[in-house]
Structure 1
Amino acid sequence: MDISILLVYGEGGHHDQAMRLMKQMQSLDPKLDFIHITDTETMKSDSIKNIYTVMPIRHKNESFNPLAFVNAYLKAVSLTIKLVRQYKPRAVIGFGPGICIPVFMVCKVLGVKKRIFFEDWCRFTSKSLSGKACSPFSTKFFVQNESLKELYRDAEFAGRL
């Protein structure tokens, strides 16, 4: 029986980190089955069989739109409930973007035992919005720059992915 893991990421560096970690984990255990949740259409790939796309929770370069935020958030919650019930994941691993927030909250409520968050590797002196929000819902919280260990009390240094 395969072990399901939810992998949550956005575009760019978040995607690259997620793919590197996934390949490392699959080389150790080929029975791992990754279910991908991403907030960008460009991540569709023939090599990834279980990929689900949701609307971005917020757009960095646009002004805040409360209606769009609530709509995206509720759709992410609904999708996460469906995926947790369908795949019964043993863990959720998140990489930075706002989409991690509703996914981590739902996974905690629905009893996903391991909730692992990686703070963005470009952070050195400040917390990200996603890091602040996901920290209370995480069972493991990793930083990729040692300077962030001072900001997150329970964080572990993972090095760069």
Structure 2
Amino acid sequence: MLNSKTHRVSVCNSAETLLVHRDYPHLPRLLAALAGSGVALHGDPEVIGAASRSGLEGVVPATDEDWATEYLSMDMAVRVVDDLPEALDHIARWTTGHTEAIVADSATAIAAFTAGVDAAAVLVNASTRFTDGGEFGFGAEIGISTQKLHARGPLGLPELTSTTYVVTGRGHVR
């Protein structure tokens, strides 16, 4: 998570929102690591409570605007979710369609996540920083599109095809 957020915050593949499963036992440690790296946290009430109980103060209450914000700064919105369907609902409502990532051990959860999110790139146990033309072997990146229909003029099957990239790692960072 640190690499996804702090490596280069002013780029489009920097993580902006973190959804954490309610049963994740290391939330206070994760919040402390982010804050210790200079990340300003915007959290839901459960995140604020977990931070406060562990002695971490200064978490800003998150608003709906936070879930929709591409900060491009050392800010991150953090929310606790009950389960994967709740996370997928949150993502469906607030996604930019650029990149979504999951850190998980469960093959079932990973399969449901990769099938359930609508994004140009889906990463599994890898940093969001891998969503980059150069990293995908496309050479210098000219731009990035989150649109599914990108062609104009006469359209054949190739012009109506969109691609979702699924990147799987084992904690890889860029």
TM-score bin, normalised by smaller chain: 0.3 to 0.5
Return the index of the structure with the highest Cα Rg.
2
- The structure whose residues are more often helix, as a share, is 1
TM-score by length of 1: 0.40
TM-score by length of 2: 0.38
